[in-house]
Amino acid sequence: MRIPNENKIKIENKYPEIIISLENSILNITSVLPQLKKQKTIENLQHGVIRRGFINAHCLRRIYKISPPTRTEHLTHEEREDITVFLLTFLFNISGIIDNLSWAWFYEKEIYKKKDPNTFKLNVHLFNKKFKKYLPVEVNNLLQKFDEWQKHIKDFRDPIAHRIPPYVIPFFVNHSGAEKYKELQKQFSLENDLDKKEKLLKQMDTLGDYEPTYTHSISEGSPLVAMHPQLLADTNTIVEIIKIIIKNL
């Protein structure tokens, strides 16, 4: 999971550019709103896609500030918790943006006249087979290349709400490091002095090597994901999807 330092520098330099790209794509939606016919289309874009997009831009900024790609120093306990909050919010909103775009299409193209929103709601999704027949061939062709990516997003979004949520791995250790961690954990559980517990926590937080990576459930065989490259790839992808849908609305 180690990323060469020269690649980390390139990723770090890409962050501002990609955040700006996300914000520009969101701002572009505002210029389209007056042309739309349905109030529910506008609501899903204005209070769904736009709001989620700006929240995700904030998440990227905070993650970048706390743990830039070139950081090698271990995260503090508080920093790791903060990054986890921003990561979960980011992943949830990526999935939510797709949902909002799907509902915007559902209402603007008047699919509700053919399908009852209450009975069809579980199928209202750009990547759902039953929904795809309401998309033009050219739009389906453009979205097709994101099929595998969408499965990845779903695999990490669903556990947030229903199972083991994604988390940032604090560090990677060898066998002896793992044994040391277990011993410190045992001491921590038995210690009653707050200052000593704090020292033990710091020792646990600084074992091994830090490499920003996230996963969810080991028992489910969740992959290890390099955090920074994936966050930027996810942002680039959602920007592209937004452009496709907005252009064809």
Instruction: State the average pLDDT over residues 153-161.
Output: 78
What average pLDDT does this structure show over 215-233? Answer: 86
Q: Per-residue pLDDT for 175 more than 70?
A: no
Separation CA 147–CA 154 (nearest Å): 11
pLDDT computed for residue 1 by the predictor: 56
For residues 52 and 96, the answer to whether their CB atoms sit within 8 Å is yes
Task: Give the pLDDT confidence score for residue 4 in this predicted structure.
Answer: 78
Q: Residue 174: is its pLDDT beyond 70?
A: no
| Sign of the CA dihedral running 162, 168, 171, 174 | positive
Q: CA 243 to CA 61: how far, in whole Å?
A: 22
Residue-wise pLDDT for 10-57, tens only, equals 999 999 999 999 999 999 999 999 999 999 999 999 999 999 999 999
Task: Between 164 and 245, name the one with better pLDDT.
Answer: 245
Q: What pTM does this model have?
A: 0.85
pLDDT in tens, 49-104: 999 999 999 999 999 999 999 998 888 889 999 999 999 999 999 999 999 999 99
